[in-house]
Amino acid sequence: MRILLAFALASVMFASEPRYLNPIELAVSPDGARLYIVCEGSDELVVVDAQSGKAIRRVRVGRVPKGLAISPDGARVFVANAWGDTVSVVDAASLQVAKTYRAGFEPTSVALAGPALYTANRIGNDISVIDAATGEETRRLTAGRGASYLAVSPSGNSLVSTHIYPNIGPYRTVPESELTFIDTHGSYVQSRDRIENAAGMFHAAFSKDGRLGIAAQIRPKNLIPLAHVEHGFALGNSILVFGEDVGEPVQLLIDELDRYYSMPFGVAITPDKRTAYISTTGADSVTVIDVPKLLAFVRNLSPRERKRAGNDLAAASHFVTRRIDVGRSPKGMALSPDGARLYVANRLDDSISVIDTRLNQVERAIPLGGPEPVTPLRRGERLFYNAKFSFQKQFGCAGCHIEGTLDGLAWDLEPDGFGIDIVDNKPLEAVDGTEPFKWNGGNPDLETECGIRTEKFFYRSQSYSKTELDDLVKFIKAMPARPNRFRAANGELTAAQERGLAVFERTRRKNGAPIPDELQCGTCHSGPKYTNQQLTHVGTRKPTDRSSSIDTPHLVGIALSAPYLHDGSARTLEEIWTVFNPKDQHGVTNDLSKDELNDLIEYLKTL
Amino acid sequence: MRYALLISLLAVPALAKDPAPPEMPRFQWENFTTANGLPDNKVFNVKVDGNRVWAATENGLGLYENGKWKVFRPADGLVHRVATYVDVDKRTHDVWIATMGGLSRYSGGRFDNFTQLNSGLPNDVVYGVAVKDDYVWTATAAGAGRLNLKTGQWSLYHERNTPMYEIWTYAVSPGSDKVYYAVWGAGVLEYDVKTERWKDYNDPDGETEMVLFKDQGLVHEITTSVSYVEKEKVIWVATYFGASRYDMRNWKNFLQKDSGLPSDFLNQVKAVDGTRCWFSTDKGLAYYDGENWAVYRPALDSGKPEMLVRDATGKVTQAAVDTAPAHNYIFGLDFQGDDVWVATARGVSHGIRVK
């Protein structure tokens, strides 16, 4: 109940703000006449006349829409509502929502292949296969962690899914993501390409002939100490090139030696296969790639060079021809059917940039009619997603806190000694009121966490002004927690969750002996966000930790923030107690039966 | 004259033909061992998925496809080398493998492993697994576990929340309405999907060595396998002391001494329907069509291919065959159209139906 209240308060805070549209994805109607623009901020599908730029209709869809697909005949537009767990089916003639289909947890992208709709369910880590006519979900396919973006091959025979988080692997090993290939005839997972050293992967696109695929991705350097930032020492903004044209997939940086293009997100390849475009959200630009030069470069690489190409900061000079400045936080893109125009959704400007692909320059911007005043919260959001403050603009907050969440990685940060104090990255939703920050509690507030510390140890560059820092902190504090999928809408707990609550609240062991206060779950994990905001010892200190004192983390959304413990060494919630609590220092759990531990975890998932 | 009449009367039966043995399925057997690429000759279970055949063996998981065996072991991602059972999700083709060290899911080339440490799996010693709708049911040495594939929730069933008094669950056979467990030492357990209630079926005489009340209930408590025919609401049960069939009203027990079972020691039972069933025993593979029996094996004495047919009257005839399954110790089987694939103690046998 307390969590619901906190969520409601955060929502109200956000609600009192003007409601910016936040266009995130768009598609062009098959006849090229219309733009369909998904606006996640206003829960709308905005329909615009492509020629005049005038809005035709604003269609209310579900909560936080994030993706869309258009039927080949243009008659229907499917919108994935990420926080509603639904797909809105919009009739293109009437521009009304004709039907609403249920999908999995957090459908972020939707694609149509044959008679089936596919949604990539970010929190469920799976892909729903839905009968496009009836809305019945016929099966659920196992994907990777954070399945988010789908692309259908031109033949329609296969579908690829990318993932914004790496799959959880052994502790302190090379992160690995995957491309999940789905056979659309049988609707099953055909294969998975393991992509080493890739953490977040975003949009993918195919060339018209289906022989070339390009995916946007981030290559993290989380296994080495963040001793400096130059030479791509923190994050590599890159693309993955795959398909028949290249054989074994190859990762290539789109960064340059002394300038980086943060948060590659959207991908579009012109029908003539001469040009590819990558939107770089943190750089407020679109990177232009000469595809023939790209292919020539890749084909000239030796097998050894192919493996190392992902670290070559000189590579981009071979195939990147231009960077086009667009609006703030460019995200999804779409080409007109003839390839003459590229439309770019500028999420934090509430506008669409229209790029003439012959000249590769912006010919105009289409305002979508978002609120005029730019509030401190809005300014803060713009700062969060922009990389301009870091050295050579390599990364911004959102590079590690993807859409305000996490990156699924543990890092060696700050000058505390190489290999010392490895720390797990945590999501930023619901952090307001949970100070201090840093796993050792060393930062008393967000102003310190995001200000001095970030500038000095992460960005190693320009400082935020006081106003900028205030705005940024305001934005982070206002981030609402996403809906909890494991708790019933009315707040009632299932029988297993009730039993788990009883375990969480217990004050006696099963043999009747009292549990000391400091070992009761509710002592440290108390308050509206399940943290008493104190330092404590839970027996999880590693030889590489300077101290055993840990700032008690909050538990809101804990189900989604694997791995766990201060250094990310517990891959699942179970392991917190089955592996890392041999002496009952992190709560008394060794007298629990297996099903009692399962119940506790079922309860924790509701927080 | 009277003697002639008497002789002619006596000769009539001799001249009349014996009824022909019943027509039973005939197979050409093709056998696979490690020499063919099978990971191990001791094969606990096989599962057919279209043109693919999975084999759970003592030293790895095998996949037969396009005429070749591919092997998966812990180095490839399988959670433990001893694979005890395999099932395939018909909707997604995800493969679930029960092992002696946890549960693996193989999907699109990736293994995901569930152990009692990293998940809600009740125990790492997993004997059986079955996928039905959005649930994965496991039979482990410490009770039953059910994974909800959509929410990730594990539900555990044991002696404290079911009628089972032994928690060594050995096999599971789920339907949409009921789920059946073979509980080694505790009979059969039935789970009603709608009411979420459990019910047990036990041996009414409670006798380990004898069957005192034939056809009054389950033939024995030490059950190793159960096969549920949802359409006809029939269960078949394998035990170490015979087999049983139950149609929710009447029990029918099968013993070696009065049926075509070559042995009372059964490892698996696999129904075709409510009338026909296959039995995997330590002395051969048996098939029952509701009246007649057939046994397929290398002869126990000579090792030569043998097919025995027993009709409804109990008469046993030997059919002429030149191939047999790889061994008489049968762990289980699965169907591929009219063909059968058989897990034996000395390899995998493919029974190609010829008649």
Binary contact (B105, A142; C-beta < 8 A): yes
Residue A224 makes CB contacts below 8 A (sequence gap 6+) with A233, A412
Of B118, B134, B156, nearest to A572 by CB-CB distance is B118
In a domain, B230, yes or no: yes
Q: Kindly tell me if the per-residue pLDDT of B206 is higher than 90.
A: no
Measured distance CA(A332)–CA(A347) in Å, rounded? 9
pLDDT tens digit string along B72-131?
999 999 999 999 999 999 999 999 999 999 999 999 999 999 999 999 999 999 999 999
Sequence-separated contacts (24+) of B172-175 with Cβ below 8 Å: B172/B128, B172/B129, B172/B130, B172/B137, B172/B138, B172/B139, B172/B144, B172/B226, B173/B130, B173/B225, B173/B226, B173/B227, B173/B228, B173/B235, B174/B130, B174/B131, B174/B132, B174/B135, B174/B137, B174/B228, B175/B132, B175/B228, B175/B230
Helix, strand or coil, per DSSP, at residue B163: coil
Q: Kindly tell me if the per-residue pLDDT of A94 is higher than 80.
A: yes
For residue B8, name the pLDDT band (cuts at 50, 70, 90): low
**Mean pLDDT value across residues A100-104:** 98
For residue A181, name the pLDDT band (cuts at 50, 70, 90): very high
Q: Could you tell me which of B284, B293, B286 has the C-alpha nearest to residue B312?
A: B293
Q: Could you tell me which of A553, A526, A550, A523 has the C-alpha nearest to residue A539?
A: A550
Closest-CA distance of chain A to residue B228, Å: 23
Of B108, B119, B156, nearest to A572 by CB-CB distance is B119
pLDDT tens digit string along B141-187?
999 999 999 999 999 999 999 999 889 999 999 999 999 999 999 99
- Chain B residue with CA closest to A188: the answer is B92
Q: Kindly tell me if the per-residue pLDDT of A13 is higher than 60.
A: no
- Chain B residue with CA closest to A602: the answer is B153
pLDDT value for B186: 92
Size of interface A-B (CB pairs under 8 A): 72
Binary contact (B91, A486; C-beta < 8 A): no
Answer whether A421's CB lies under 8 Å from A414's CB: yes
In a domain, B71, yes or no: yes
Binary contact (A578, B118; C-beta < 8 A): yes
In a domain, B27, yes or no: no
In a domain, B24, yes or no: no
Binary contact (A189, B150; C-beta < 8 A): no
**Residues of chain B contacting residue A572, judged by C-beta atoms under 8 Å apart:** 118-119
For residue B18, name the pLDDT band (cuts at 50, 70, 90): low
Transcribe A425-470 into DSSP letters: ----TT-TT--SBSTT--BSSHHIIIIIHIIIIII-SPPPPHHHHH
pLDDT value for B20: 76
In a domain, B5, yes or no: no
**Is the pTM here over 0.90, yes or no?**
yes
For residue A24, name the pLDDT band (cuts at 50, 70, 90): very high
Asked, as a colleague might, if the bond just before A436 is cis with ω within 30 of 0, I would say: yes
Answer whether A214's CB lies under 8 Å from A197's CB: no
Binary contact (A189, B123; C-beta < 8 A): no
CB contact, 8 Å: B155 with chain A?
yes
Binary contact (B118, A575; C-beta < 8 A): yes
Binary contact (B93, A486; C-beta < 8 A): no
* CATH number listed for the domain at residues A378-478: 1.10.760.10
pLDDT value for A1: 55
Measured distance CA(B295)–CA(B285) in Å, rounded? 6
pLDDT tens digit string along A568-606?
999 999 999 999 999 999 999 999 999 999 999 999 999
Of B91, B134, B156, nearest to A595 by CB-CB distance is B156
pLDDT value for A16: 73
With 0-12 / 13-18 / 19 or more C-beta atoms within 10 angstroms meaning exposed / middle / buried, residue B12 is: exposed
pLDDT tens digit string along A470-516?
999 999 999 988 999 999 999 999 999 999 999 999 999 999 999 99
pLDDT value for A552: 97
Q: Kindly tell me if the per-residue pLDDT of A415 is higher than 80.
A: no
Average pLDDT, chain B: 94
Structure tokens at B181: 């467990």
pLDDT value for A11: 53
Total domains, chain B? 1
- Residue spans per domain, chain A: 378-478, 495-604
pLDDT value for A457: 85
Q: Which of A153-162, A350-359, A449-458, A530-539 has the lowest mean pLDDT?
A: A449-458
Q: Could you tell me which of A317, A193, A140 has the C-alpha nearest to residue B135?
A: A140
pLDDT value for A17: 84
Give percent of chain B above pLDDT 70: 92
Give percent of chain A above pLDDT 90: 92
For residue A8, name the pLDDT band (cuts at 50, 70, 90): low
Q: At residue B314, what is the residue type?
A: G
Binary contact (A594, B134; C-beta < 8 A): no
Average pLDDT, chain A: 95
- DSSP annotation of B23 reads P
B187 in the Ramachandran plot: left (φ > 0), alpha (ψ -120 to 50) or beta? left
The sheet carrying A188-196 orders its strands as A147-152, A158-163, A176-183, A188-196
pLDDT tens digit string along B33-61?
999 999 999 999 999 999 999 999 999 99
CA trace torsion A65, A69, A74, A76 (10° rounding): -50
pLDDT tens digit string along A264-315?
999 999 999 999 999 999 999 999 999 999 999 999 999 999 999 999 999 9
Q: Kindly tell me if the per-residue pLDDT of B295 is higher than 90.
A: yes
CB contact, 8 Å: B52 with chain A?
no
Measured distance CA(B198)–CA(B188) in Å, rounded? 10
Measured distance CA(B229)–CA(B235) in Å, rounded? 6
Q: Could you tell me which of A187, A320, A300, A301 has the C-alpha nearest to residue A253?
A: A320
Q: Kindly tell me if the per-residue pLDDT of A92 is higher than 80.
A: yes
Binary contact (A140, B150; C-beta < 8 A): yes
Q: Could you tell me which of A130, A45, A31 has the C-alpha nearest to residue A345?
A: A45
pLDDT value for B17: 59
Q: Where are the alpha helices (DSSP H) in chain B?
A: 2-15
B138 alpha carbon, distance to own chain's centre? 16
Q: Kindly tell me if the per-residue pLDDT of A342 is higher than 60.
A: yes
Q: Which of A55-59, A572-576, B202-206 has the lowest mean pLDDT?
A: B202-206
Answer whether A117's CB lies under 8 Å from A69's CB: yes
pLDDT tens digit string along B301-355?
999 999 999 999 999 999 999 999 999 999 999 999 999 999 999 999 999 999 8
CATH number, domain containing residue B80: 2.130.10.10
Give percent of chain B above pLDDT 90: 88
Q: Kindly tell me if the per-residue pLDDT of A103 is higher than 80.
A: yes
**Residues of chain B contacting residue A571, judged by C-beta atoms under 8 Å apart:** 118
- Chain A residue with CA closest to B113: the answer is A169
- Chain A residue with CA closest to B123: the answer is A594
In a domain, B125, yes or no: yes
* Residue at token pair 């490839």: B76
pLDDT value for A2: 52
Closest-CA distance of chain B to residue A126, Å: 9
pLDDT tens digit string along A445-482?
999 999 988 888 888 887 899 999 999 999 999 998 89
In a domain, B10, yes or no: no
Whether domain A495-604 has CATH 3.10.180.10: no
pLDDT value for B215: 82
pLDDT value for A460: 85
Q: Kindly tell me if the per-residue pLDDT of A177 is higher than 70.
A: yes
Sign of CA dihedral A183, A188, A194, A200: positive
Structural domain span for residue B101: 34-353
